[in-house]
Every structure is written in C-alpha cells, then in structure tokens.
Amino acid sequence: MKVAVWDTYVKKQNGTVMNFDIMVPDSQKDEKVIYGYGKEYLQTKSIDGYELTSEECAFCHIEQATDEIIQGIDDKGYFIIELKNCQ
C-alpha cells in the first residue's frame, strides 16, 4: 500500500513544537479529512480545540507503508508517526 505523508507541526501551550506525520492512503486527498485525523490525534494528547490548517500540516511525500501502518489505517483510516515533543 502506498501512503501519503502529511508533515505536521503544532505549537503547544508550553512553547515547544510537536512534530508528527499523519499517514493516509495515497488516494485520500481531502485536506479537511486529513486535518480531522490530526485533530483527533491531538485530542488523545489533551490538546482540544486546535484547528489544523495548511500552515501546520502539509503534504510531504508518498511512501510504501509498513505492516504496522497498514494495520493502523485499516483500524482508524490513518496512522500517526510521532517525531518530536509528542509526549
């Protein structure tokens, strides 16, 4: 499965910047849906009410998905890779 990687940066209240990738099937091109996935993820980190836009979240590239990513996409429609300050 090919997936689209959306590179995302969110400034937290403490001033640090979270960096994570939202991975979706490469056929998913609706930015509102992808931003919704990011918002759903942020809620799991107790960051409520944050609205993602193209300033924080942008398409980066297409890559081949691993089995773990495929399973996550099958379960939720997307997969998150935490890169920095996501604790």
pLDDT of 25-75, one tens digit each? 999 999 999 999 999 999 999 998 888 999 999 999 999 999 999 999 999
Q: What is the pLDDT of residue 79?
A: 98
What is the number of domains present in the chain? 1
The CATH number given to whatever domain includes residue 50 is 3.10.510.10
Q: What is the pLDDT of residue 33?
A: 97
- pTM, rounded to two decimals: 0.94
d(CA 24, CA 37): 9
Tens-digit pLDDT profile for residues 5-24: 999 999 998 999 999 999 99
Q: What is the pLDDT of residue 65?
A: 98
d(CA 71, CA 86): 21
What range does the domain containing 25 cover?
A: 2-84
Cα angle 11, 49, 28; round to 5: 85
Q: What is the pLDDT of residue 49?
A: 85
Q: What is the pLDDT of residue 63?
A: 98
